[in-house]
Amino acid sequence: MTRGTTNPNRLRRMDRWIASVQGAALRRADDPVAVDLGYGAAPWTAVELLARLRAAAPRARVVGIEIEPARVAAAKPYEREGLTFRHGGFEVPLDPAGTSPTLIRAANVLRQYDEDQVAEVWQRLCGRLAPGGLLVEGTCDEIGRRHVWVALGPEGPRTVTFATRLGSLAAPSDLAERLPKALIHRNVPGEPVHAFLRDFDRAWAAASPYASYGARQRWIRTVRALAADWPVVDGPGRWRQGEVTVAWGALAPGGPAPKA
Ligand SMILES: C[S@@+](CC[C@H](N)C(=O)[O-])C[C@H]1O[C@@H](n2cnc3c(N)ncnc32)[C@H](O)[C@@H]1O
């Protein structure tokens, strides 16, 4: 049995982002199913995902899927309208069979697997998505202050999002220890993600005069500078939340790393 560590409100940053970027697709879907894959020893993250998605897409429903049968049994009493729990894994079993999810969220699940399994798992999960569906796979700390996730469409990886509580941030590279499995072993010289975090820290240092206006203003200034050299795909509305989203292709392992 793998560790099932979870916490109430741990995934709030990820939920908020998902509701924002995938809310419209969930509103449009005939049967807007969101899967919380590997929800852990307690069902809190699935309960919260439902509440946050419903604010954006009132017909959304959430299916929590866990590979450990005891965790499914423990979650069953929390089922309610729009929220069910099932035993399963990367095959993403849904009822009725043939239903395709508009969202699959897998948080702190692939950390327990080997790096060389990631591509296959991604492919499998992407193959389960409805047209217009999104897979969000990433990692965070126990209380959700540092988060990094990859977003993938049916065709494959699209973006990487870094999200943090700004008040407690010493430097953007604090997020390195929360990189998802596909990137965490690639934070070494010569790899794009290493160059990205290096440039992020430099921009943060250069923006230190803005600290007197607050960490938020410093972050916004930092990301604006970073966007001159890296394909940042979101804007100030997201940066204000302590987020930044970058095109996957720029950080993908083995790609060309910009010079120091
Ligand atoms: C560390 S917990 C994360 C819980 C929650 N998602 C969170 O982020 O707080 C990881 C969970 O993933 C489950 N898990 C591991 N592999 C899985 C798979 N292939 N399918 C479904 N669940 C899986 C484990 O049983 C464990 O409960």
pLDDT digits (tens, 9 = 90+) for 148-186: 999 999 999 999 999 999 999 999 999 999 999 999 999
Torsional class of 237: left (φ above 0), alpha (ψ -120 to 50), beta (otherwise): alpha
- Taking alpha carbons only, the member of 88, 33, 20 closest to residue 235 is 20
How sure is the predictor about 141, in pLDDT bands with cuts at 50, 70 and 90? very high
Report the length, in residues, of the chain.
260
DSSP structural state of residue 44: H
Q: Is the peptide bond before 96 cis (omega within 30 degrees of 0)?
A: yes
pTM here? Answer: 0.97
**Mean pLDDT, rounded, for 112-116:** 96
Between 38 and 258, the higher pLDDT residue: 38
Q: Which residue type does 58 have?
A: P
Ligand 1: residue whose CA is nearest its atom 2: 4
At 227-238, the pLDDT tens digits run 999 999 999 999
- Taking alpha carbons only, the member of 105, 107, 103 closest to residue 129 is 103
Number of alpha carbons in the 13 Å side-chain half-sphere of residue 84: 12
Identify which of 63, 67, 71 to mutate to test ligand 1's pocket (most ligand atoms within 8 A of the CB): 67
Please report the pLDDT score of residue 95 as a whole number.
86
CA distances from 143 to 57, 134, 155 (A): 26, 24, 32
Percent of the chain with pLDDT over 90: 93
- Taking alpha carbons only, the member of 77, 46, 43 closest to residue 62 is 46
**Mean pLDDT, rounded, for 204-214:** 97
Number of alpha carbons in the 13 Å side-chain half-sphere of residue 42: 8
Quote the tokens at residue 197: 């975090």
How sure is the predictor about 41, in pLDDT bands with cuts at 50, 70 and 90? very high
Q: Is 139 in the pocket of ligand 1 (CB under 6 A)?
A: no
Query: How many whole angstroms separate alpha carbon 113 and alpha carbon 128?
Result: 20
CB 102 within 8 A of CB 34: yes
**Mean pLDDT, rounded, for 94-100:** 89
CA distances from 33 to 4, 25, 68, 216 (A): 23, 11, 21, 34
Query: How many whole angstroms separate alpha carbon 210 and alpha carbon 216?
Result: 9
At 179-208, the pLDDT tens digits run 999 999 999 999 999 999 999 999 999 999
At 15-34, the pLDDT tens digits run 999 999 999 999 999 999 99
How sure is the predictor about 257, in pLDDT bands with cuts at 50, 70 and 90? confident
Atom of ligand 1 nearest to the CA of 40: 27
3-state helix, strand, coil in the chain (%, to 5): 40, 20, 40
Question: Average per-residue pLDDT in the chain?
Answer: 96
Ligand 1: residue whose CA is nearest its atom 12: 38
Q: Is 10 in the pocket of ligand 1 (CB under 6 A)?
A: yes
**Residue tagged 């924002």 (tokens):** 20
